[in-house]
A and B are shown apart, each in its own frame.
Chain A
Amino acid sequence: MKNNEATIFVFAASIIIGILVSLNINFGKKTERIFLDAKQYQDAYNLKVKYQSEIGALRDQYNHYNDKLNKYIYLSKNGEEVLQEVKDEINRNISETGYKDVHGPGIKIYIEDESNNDDESMSAGDEYMYRIIHNTDIMYIINDLRAAGAEAIEVNGQRVTDRSEVYCLGSFLGINGIKIATPFTITAIGNKDALKTYMEDPNNFLKSLGLPHRQIFFTVEAQDDITIKANEGQPKANYISNVKK
Chain B
Amino acid sequence: MIAIVGLLIGILLGLVLKVNIPDQFSPYMSVAILACLDSVFGAVRATLSKNFRADIFISGFFGNAVLAAGLAYLGDKMGVPIYLAAVIVFGGRIFDNFAIVRRLLIDKAKSH
A18 part of interface (Cβ distance < 8 Å): yes
In the complex, which residues of chain B have a beta carbon less than 8 angstroms from the beta carbon of A12?
A: 6
- CB–CB B13/A22 < 8 A: yes
Contacts known (A6-B47, A10-B40, A10-B47); A21 close to B26, Cβ less than 8 A: no
- CB–CB B52/A21 < 8 A: no
Contacts known (A9-B54, A9-B57); A14 close to B29, Cβ less than 8 A: no
List, sorted by A's number, 12 A–B pairs whose CB atoms are closer than 8 Å. A9-B52, A10-B6, A13-B39, A13-B40, A15-B9, A16-B36, A17-B37, A18-B6, A19-B10, A19-B11, A19-B17, A23-B19
Identify which of residues 56-110 in chain B touch chain A, using a CB-to-CB cut-off of 8 Å. Answer: 57-58, 61
- CB–CB B43/A9 < 8 A: yes
In the complex, which residues of chain A have a beta carbon less than 8 angstroms from the beta carbon of B30?
A: 24
Q: How far is the CA of A2 from the CA of B54 in the complex (A)?
A: 9
Other A-B pairs beyond A10-B3, A16-B36, A18-B13, 12, CB < 8 Å: A2-B52, A6-B47, A6-B54, A7-B47, A9-B54, A14-B9, A15-B7, A15-B13, A18-B8, A20-B32, A20-B33, A23-B20
Task: Among A3, A6, A9, A21, point to the contact of B10 (Cβ < 8 A).
Answer: A21
Binding site for B on A (CB under 8 A): 2-3, 5-7, 9-24, 27
- CB–CB B3/A19 < 8 A: no
Q: How far is the CA of A78 from the CA of B75 in the complex (A)?
A: 49
Q: Which of B2, B6, B30 has the most CB of A within 10 A?
A: B6
Identify which of residues 13-39 in chain B touch chain A, using a CB-to-CB cut-off of 8 Å. Answer: 13-15, 17, 19-21, 26, 29-30, 32-33, 36-37, 39
Task: Among A3, A13, A21, point to the contact of B11 (Cβ < 8 A).
Answer: A21
In the complex, which residues of chain A have a beta carbon less than 8 angstroms from the beta carbon of B32?
A: 20
- CB–CB B29/A24 < 8 A: yes
Contacts known (A5-B52, A7-B2, A23-B19); A17 close to B43, Cβ less than 8 A: no
In the complex, which residues of chain A have a beta carbon less than 8 angstroms from the beta carbon of B50?
A: 2-3
Q: How far is the CA of A78 from the CA of B112 in the complex (A)?
A: 87
Please give the distance in Å from B64's CB to the nearest CB on chain A: 11
Contacts known (A17-B33, A24-B30); A11 close to B5, Cβ less than 8 A: yes
Please give the distance in Å from A191's CB to the nearest CB on chain B: 32
Q: How far is the CA of A20 from the CA of B40 in the complex (A)?
A: 14
Query: Residue of A at shortest CB range from B13?
Result: A19
Task: Among B8, B9, B58, point to the contact of A9 (Cβ < 8 A).
Answer: B58
- CB–CB B21/A15 < 8 A: no
- CB–CB A5/B15 < 8 A: no
In the complex, which residues of chain A have a beta carbon less than 8 angstroms from the beta carbon of B37?
A: 17
